[in-house]
Structure formats: structure tokens, C-alpha cells
Amino acid sequence: MELNDLSVEIKAFTDTASYKIDEQNARLLAIEQKLTAPRGGGSDSDDPNDIGRTVANSAQFKSFKEGNQGRTGRITVGNFHKTTIVNATGLNQPLVPPYYRPGILMPGLQRLTIRDVLPSFPVNSNMVEYCRESSHTSNAGIQTNEGDTKGESALGFELKFAPVQTLAHWIPASRQVLDDAQALAAYINARLTYLLKLKEEDELLNGTGTGVELSGLVTNATAFDTSYTTVATDTFIDVIGHALEQVTENSNFEPDGIVMNRLDWHTVTLIKTQGTASSGQYIYSDPHNAQTPQLWGVPVIPTKSMPRGQFLVGAFKMAAAIWDRNGATIDISREHADFFTRNLVAILCEERLALTVFRPDALVYGGFPFGS
């Protein structure tokens, strides 16, 4: 190829490249004018923070415009219209959706313990009757002479009864939510059952026996005889020891349980020795090790169902019994008011039971001395 032909081709290539660069410059200029134009129209904006002006004044764009690079590369433009792009706070963020933790967080559940200290039996009636000895007179003795009249003793009896009562509660829910959220249905069932059992525990322990309430253990128990307290400075531990002795003295049964509030039990565990070489050591146990709650060899049942400052000790397995007519059940029905037409359901949780206290003298109820 001759030199003249080569010069012609080089000039043609240069003209073409220059044309393309001019075309790209024109397009970028048009973008710049649109971006920097005021929203209401009019002259170009002089705001140095406008994105178009920022691009046009950048070193990357100038180098590209002069043909030194094939592309501009990344250009930092900063803020748009003077507004910094940041995450919104609170709910319903437009930029970053929240993470949703699956499931429902259930609150802490109180441990239910009272039913465990009592024997329970099934029953197929709505009433439990029992006969117990109410009095006795013993004239047992040695016959003085043959033919002499022997001593006559007497026994008195009484018929007692305890009606089967129904404990129940319910909650409304939409049919759709149960269809669409099966986990919610299971959660509702579990919560209803637990809350029913919590009420059962309170009735077994504190039921007054009035109206349709159960006649609970505390209501039937013998009052603590304060004459057992021999020292004015008796501690919680001393008082429990006296009450245990009262149970045995009154009923001839050996106590098998001590019911007290959890905070009172906490007070017992913190009692320390005083006025000795080992002063300050814990009396109950070594705090480094887990211990089975017990006093005087008898198991302790700490529960929030017992009011603080009070206690109940007794031979529970001999003193009382639970009679289960129907265990706790869950029923779901649309047959309530206008629930059928409103696509609502009633979720019902209920049980039927009776409580009999055979031997009130085998239970002792009382209070702790203040400040023990």
C-alpha cells in the first residue's frame, strides 16, 4: 500500500472516531441539561450538587471526553436533590424489609405442681359421696372378773359429698385464620389448656367451696397452732418443723409435702449461720450445687399459687383426692350466636372434676413469722 493511500485511511478513521465522540458528548450534554434543569422549568441550575453537573465536572468524564479512555468508570455523585439515602426507622421501611421470625413467642409458664401431690381417680358420675368416721369413744380395757360387763365403745359416721364441677373458658377466632395459620390454631389450643390448668391449680389449693367453686385444700385444712412455736425468734425452718409435728400429732399420718410460695422458699435457702466459727455459711445447702427442695426430710413444693407468707403442710396422699370426670378437651364450633354467618368459630376448653378432702386434720395451714 502506498503512503498516500495509508494517509487517506488514517484520516477517514480519525474523522469517524471524532464523529462518534462528538455524538456521545452531545448525548451526555442532553442528559446533563435534563438533570440539572429546575423542576418548574427555566434556566439551568447552578447547584454544584446536581448529579448532571457532578458527572460533567468529574475527572473521569473529562478524561473520557478527551478520548483518553474507552469508558468513564465509576463516578461518585453523592446526594440526590440534597437528600441523603438512609434506612428509615421503625416499621414499614420502604428500602429494607424486616426479617420476620417464624412462630409465636409464648410467655413463661408457671410450673403446675398441686395436682402432682394428690392421688387422682376416674369417676363416671356428677357427684362423689364418701363416708368418714366423725367421732369415736373407746372403752377398751381388761375384764376384771369373769362375767363382768365389758366396756362398750362407740363410733360415729357422717356422709359427705363433693359435686363434680366444670372448669371452662373459650375464645373466638375467624375460620379463615384457623385455615390459613395452622400454627396459630395449635398455639391457641395449648394456651387455652394451660390457662385452664392454672385455674385448676388455684381451685385445688384455694377454692372457697362457695357457689360452684371447689372446696380447696387450704379451706379444709386445720389452722396452724401457734403454741407449737416455743421461741420468739423462730425462723421459717422452725415454723415448718412445728407444722409437720402438728400434722402427725393430729392425724397420726406422716407428712409428705410442704407447699409454700417460691419467694418464701428462696428466703429459706438464704438463711445463714450466725454467731459461730462458721458464721455466714448457708444452712440449707451449698449454693454451688443444685439441691432437691426439702425440709426436715419432706419435699417442698414451691409455687406462685400459694400466697407469700403462707404455707400448707400435710399428708396429702391420705388427706385428699381428685376425681376426674372428663379430662381437659378442646372443642371448636360455629354454633354460637351469629358466628355461622360471620365465619367465626368458638374454641372451647373445659374439664370436669371434683375434689374431696377426707381428713382435714392431716393438713395444716398457717403463716410465717414476719422477718424470719
The three cell numbers locating residue 64: 473520557
Class of domain 114-137+155-367: alpha beta
Element (DSSP H or E) covering residue 165:
strand 165-174
Q: How many Cα atoms within 13 Å fall on the side-chain side of residue 173?
A: 22
Residues of the chain with pLDDT > 90, as a percent, come to: 51
Return d(Cα 215, Cα 368) in angstroms, integer: 24
Q: Is 60 left (phi over 0), alpha (psi -120 to 50) or beta?
A: alpha
Q: Which of 144-148, 175-179, 278-282, 309-313 has the lowest mean pLDDT?
A: 278-282
Residue 42 has pLDDT above 80, yes or no: no
Q: What is the pTM of this model?
A: 0.73
Nearest to 348 by CA among 339, 357, 356: 339
Q: Which residues pair with 168 in a beta bridge?
A: 350
Instruction: Please state, rounded to an integer, the average pLDDT across all residues of the chain.
Output: 84
**Domain boundaries in the chain?**
13-97, 114-137+155-367
| Per-residue pLDDT at 95 | 74
Q: How confident is the model at residue 43 (pLDDT cuts 50, 70, 90)?
A: very low
Residue 278 has pLDDT above 60, yes or no: yes
What's the 3-state SS for 317-355?
HHHEEEEEEEEEEEEEECCCCCCCCCCEEEEEEEEEEEE
Answer whether 253's CB lies under 8 Å from 247's CB.
Answer: yes
Average pLDDT over residues 242-265: 96
Pairing relation of β-strands 363-367 and 222-223? parallel
Q: pLDDT tens digit string along 291-345? A: 889 999 999 999 999 999 999 999 999 999 999 999 999 999 999 999 999 999 9
Summarised one tens digit per residue, pLDDT across range 47-98 is 555 666 777 777 777 777 776 666 767 767 665 555 566 767 777 777 777 8
